[in-house]
Amino acid sequence: MDKFAQAGYGQRDIGFGERPALLMVDFQLGFTDASNPLGRSDHVQQAVDNTATLLAACKAHDIPAASCAVSWGGPDEMVYWKIDSLYDGSFYHGHPCTEIDPRIREEGYVFEFIKTAPSIFYETPLKPWLVKHCIDTTIITGCTTSGCVRASIVDSFSAGFRTIVPADCCGDQDAQAHDNNLQDVGRRYADVVDLQFVLDHLNNNHH
């Protein structure tokens, strides 16, 4: 038994509420297209494919879905990132790297917007949209797990949402970073599950 479990971490399941929404964090070509240095992770590719399956199920069950990309007008808008490739122009407005991956684009269904900080919640239109749809549960997917996905999980939890994270719908540059961060948020803030678990829930509870 690990020391966290001995101290009482991770002993409760949160579970789904009545009104879930699917959130997709930064599945944009900068992270999913191999022509970009940040876009060469097989782990992320797999997560996009799995999320596309989840998106189709959410649409079939009339579950709202939102998606963001990170993008800036130029270096003056950026805070102090430590990632060189963010400064080469590929993450500035209008660059192909800021476009949402076509596998999870659904015109007229997915609510899409730009963010400038790690979390999908931070100073974006997301919270009013969640309130408008009476959402009590977020299903968080995206990349990268140890960066923007983790920040989004913490903010979802902090805002009072039940937070569900299908692990195989999240991707990172490194599987160990992915595993470590999901283990960590699973002790505190979120139910870490898999795609099949979420699909089963939707099929059994949302007709």
pLDDT of 170 reads 98
The pLDDT tens digits for 69-100 are 999 999 999 999 999 889 999 999 999 999 99
42 domain-assigned: yes
Q: Which residues contact 111 (CB under 8 A, 6 or more apart)?
A: 64, 65, 66, 67, 129
Q: Is residue 25 part of a domain?
A: yes
pLDDT of residue 35: 85
Q: How far is CA 156 from CA 6, 16, 113, 119, 131, in A?
A: 26, 14, 17, 9, 13
pTM above 0.85, yes or no: yes
Residue 7 falls within a domain, yes or no?
Answer: no
Can you give the CATH number for the domain in which 100 is found?
3.40.50.850
Q: What is the mean pLDDT of the chain?
A: 95
Residue 74's domain comprises 16-205
Tens digits of residue pLDDT in 144-193: 999 999 999 999 999 999 999 999 999 999 999 999 999 999 999 999 99
> Is 132 contained in some domain?
yes
pLDDT of residue 1: 65
Domain assignment present for residue 9? The answer is no
Residue pLDDT, tens place only, 5-32: 888 888 889 999 999 999 999 999 999 9
- Specify the amino acid at residue 101: D
How many structural domains does the chain have?
1
Residue 152 in any domain: the answer is: yes
Contacts of 70 (CB under 8 A, 6+ apart): 26, 28, 30, 91, 98, 114, 115, 116, 148
Neighbours of 205 (CB within 10 A): 11
The answer to whether residue 5 is domain-embedded is: no
Residue 90 lies in a domain: yes
